Amino acid sequence: MKYFTIVVSFLLLILISACSTLTLKPADYAWPIENALKVDAKGTITEQRFSFSVNVKPIFFEEFKDSTNYIGKELRIIRDRAGFYFITGKDFKNVYVFKPIESGMQLENKIVISETKGLTSPAFNQRNRYIELIDATNKYQLTSKGLMR
Amino acid sequence: MEKKFIYSVWLLFIISNFCFAQSDLEKVEKFNARIQQIESSIKNASSLEQLSIIAENINKAKNDFVAEKELIDKAIYPESFNSSFEKLERALEIRKGDFTQITELTTQVGTLKDKVSELSQENQNLLSQIRVLNIKSAKDAQTIASLQKLVAQLKSNIQQRDQLVRGIVDSLLAEFVKYPTTLNENEKQNIFGKVEAGNLFYNIERTIADNVQFMKVTQLTPEDLGEMKKQYQDFNKVWRQIGPKLAEVYLNKRDKAAQIANIDAMFNEWNFRLNDEMWGQVNKLFREKKIALLPFSSGEQFVKTVKSFVDDELKNYEVKSKAEAENTYFTFTDSVYFKTVEPVWIPILIENKMMTEANKDSIDAQIARWKNKVAPPSKINWVYVGGGAVIVLLMIAYFLKGRKKPQNNFASQKEEEL
């Protein structure tokens, strides 16, 4: 019985290792600087350097409950080391953290910066262990999990 | 004291906090803007002094942004902090080279200008001396020799001066090629400067006037005239490129605009004089042999004149004596046209586009038409054929006579024996 258990365990181990997905680690997706992108008439922002575009109308609806007033608005976007996208903008009270999925982005976290007042001139900076959000003289340290400080 | 220190530290902390509260994107954008600003100031610099100030600015910018080197390197990839400044320094060196070259050229133009003035003065003196010698009614060998020497010197001087002025014009043309579209105020000022520095308009006028004067006071050979015509064509071609652009630049300066129009007129005058001299010399060759051709001043007119002369000759052929008609024909063709006009003048006239191959063929056709009447080739052949036939007949008769003689002797001997 003991031998049987060992053999079965061994076979299971082999089976599990064979079924596990190939992963490449560690990876660093960090953008050195944020990007300030204007929303076009279709509600899309287009990033030239990393060559992608994404529809951001739902963020405006989520933030302002209005998905029509977006044309020409500027969004700040940066990607952290782990590969999460941080998006915010002027008058936003939140920073939206997205993870890439097939043909889109999925909300990972919505970080509340202020319950009452929107951001006046937000900007992201890439830092070693976090994303720095600055707004006038205020500074916030963000990760995909939330506000660090 | 201690309190003051604590306040200072707090103040420093607050200030540094403010300083740090800056977007990285903003820093990179500021860096890019500074680089672009320096780039355009290098392009627009108008002196070596300005470039020295720009060199200082480059160093200052380097120091201002060196703290962000790592960020900049990542943000502006594939460019980098160092490569951006290297580019600026290269551009600065190239621009410095341009200015050094411009300074050298300006010095060169200055020297050329002095030389041109010297030569112009010398030419003036030579022209006066030649005029005085020409006026002298009795020309001894010494006078003729010194006249020839002066003419040779003047010719060489004019050629040298023409080349110098061409140099100034060419440098200006290069300037226009550099600015192919409409010139802005700065570029116009640059052109004004060059025109004034080279005393361009005056020198072009002087060049043309001296060439015309030279033609007036000297006896020129066909080769001299061919050379002068080529010189005129080259110079005129450059002027036609530069003249309209200069007229545009000097649109609001009435006196200069008038000077440009005057130069245009002087070029026309120069061309007219050259053509007149060349066609006049061709006509003179006929006149010297007492062949009166109507005046002509182009290839077409030359053809018409020859045709009209040949027509007259053919019309008068019956009236004139045969000898007289033949004499005119042979003088025209052998003594003038085929002797000098065709081998010497026609190649020069064709080369300088004053007549065409078709014109020459037309003249040849007229001469052939004339020849058919006055000295037809068939007539000459019959004379030869007739002469030949007579000689052959004489020879036959001689041989026949020679053969008959021994037969007669034999017959008479026989008669004697019987």
* Identity at B387, one-letter amino acid code: G
On the CB side of B122, CA atoms within 13 Å amount to: 17
Residues A33, B28: C-beta atoms closer than 8 Å = yes
pLDDT at B322: 81
Q: CB B21 to CB A125 under 8 A? A: no
How far apart CA B75 and CA B29 sit, in angstroms, is 10
Residue A76 in contact with residue A31, Cβ under 8 Å?
no
Cα–Cα distance, A31 to B74 (Å, whole number)? 9
Structure tokens at A53: 């575009």
Distance, CA of B273 to CA of B211 (rounded, Å): 10
Helix, strand, coil percentages, rounded to 5, for chain B: 85, 0, 15
Please indicate whether, in this complex, the C-beta atoms of A32 and B74 are within 8 angstroms of each other.
yes
Residue B211: predicted pLDDT: 82
B contacts of A136 (beta carbons < 8 Å): 21
Contacts of A123 in chain B (CB under 8 A): 23-26
B103 C-beta neighbours (distance < 10 Å), count:
12
A44 burial type by CB count under 10 A (0-12 exposed, 13-18 middle, 19+ buried): middle
Higher pLDDT, A14 or A83: A83
Task: Please name the residue of chain A whose CA is at the shortest distance from the CA of residue B75.
Answer: A32
A33 vs B21: CB contact, 8 Å cut-off? no
Q: Comparing B290 with A105, which gets the higher pLDDT?
A: A105
Cβ atoms of A70 and A56 within 8 Å: the answer is yes
> Which tokens belong to B218?
């000297």
CB contact under 8 A, B71 and A32: yes
Per-residue pLDDT at B209: 83
d(Cα B301, Cα A63) in Å, to the nearest integer? 92
Helix and strand numbers, DSSP H then E, in chain B: 15, 0
- A122 DSSP β-pair partners: A135
Cβ–Cβ gap A36/B25 under 8 Å: yes
Count CA within 13 A, CB hemisphere, residue B3: 0
Four-residue CA torsion sign, B131, B134, B140, B145: positive
Q: Cα distance from B75 to chain A (closest Cα, Å)?
A: 6
* A134 to chain B: closest CA residue: B21
Q: Are A113 and A149 a contacting pair, CB within 8 Å?
A: no
Find the CB nearest A33 among B17, B20, B75: B75
Q: What is the pLDDT of residue B177?
A: 60
**Mutation target vs B (from A28, A119, A124, A125; most B CBs, 10 A cutoff):** A125
Average pLDDT over every residue of A85-109: 96
Contact B23 A123 (CB under 8 A): yes
How many angstroms separate the Cα of B18 from the Cα of each of A129, B148, B307? 21, 90, 100
Any A CB within 8 A of B76 CB: no
Average pLDDT over residues A109-127: 94
Q: Identify which of A32, A134, A137 has the shortest CB distance to residue B23.
A: A134
CB–CB contact A134 B21 (8 Å)? yes
Site from A31, A33, A76, A124 to mutate, B interface, most B CB atoms within 10 angstroms? A33
Cis preceding linkage at B376, omega within 30: no
Residue contact A33–B18, C-beta within 8 A: no
Res A49 pLDDT > 60: yes
**Inter-chain CB proximity B74 and A33 less than 8 Å:** yes
* Strand bridging mode A138-143 / A146-147: antiparallel
User: With 0-12 CB in 10 A as exposed, 13-18 as middle and 19+ as buried, what is A117?
Assistant: exposed
Report the distance separating Cα A123 and Cα B72, nearest Å.
17
C-beta atoms of B23 and A137 within 8 A: no
Are the C-beta atoms of residues A62 and A88 closer than 8 Å to each other?
Answer: no
Please tell me the distance from the alpha carbon of residue A130 to that of residue A124, in angstroms, as a whole number: 10
Residue B241: phi, psi to the nearest 5? -80, -40
Best residue in B23, B76, B77 for a mutation probing chain A (most A CBs within 10 Å)? B23
| B17 in contact with A, Cβ within 8 Å | yes
| ipTM here | 0.78
Q: To which residue do tokens 């120091």 refer?
A: B63
Chain A contact for B18 (CB, 8 A cutoff) = yes
User: Which pLDDT value is given to residue A142?
Assistant: 96
> Could you tell me the mean pLDDT of each successive run of 10 residues in chain B, 418 residues long?
49 46 88 94 84 93 93 90 94 82 63 68 75 66 73 77 73 62 68 72 81 78 88 85 75 74 88 91 90 89 91 84 86 91 92 91 90 73 73 84 57 51
Distances in Å between the Cα of A132 and the Cα atoms of A37, B70, B394 are 18, 17, 133
Distance CA B92, CA B111 (A): 29
The pTM of the full predicted model, rounded to 2 decimals, is 0.47
DSSP chain A: -HHHHHHHHHHHHHHHHHHSPP---------SB-EEEE--TTSEEEETTTTEEEE-HHHHHHHHS-SSTTTT-EEEEEE-TTS-EEEEETT-SEEEEEEEETTEEEEEEEEES-SS---SSEEEEE-SSSEEEEETTEEEEEETTEE--
Identify which of B21, B26, B71 has the shortest CB distance to residue A137: B21
| Shortest Cα distance, chain A CAs vs residue B5, angstroms | 24
Q: Position of tokens 């300088």?
A: B352
User: Measured between alpha carbons, how far is B416 from A95 in angstroms, rounded to an integer?
Assistant: 164
Element (H, E) at A75: strand A74-79
Chain A residues touching residue B77 (CB < 8 angstroms): 32
Beta-carbon separation of B21 and A139 below 8 A:
yes
Residue A121: per-residue pLDDT: 93
A53: three-class secondary structure by DSSP: strand
Residue B74 β-bridge partners: none
| Selected residue with higher pLDDT from A64 and B134 | A64
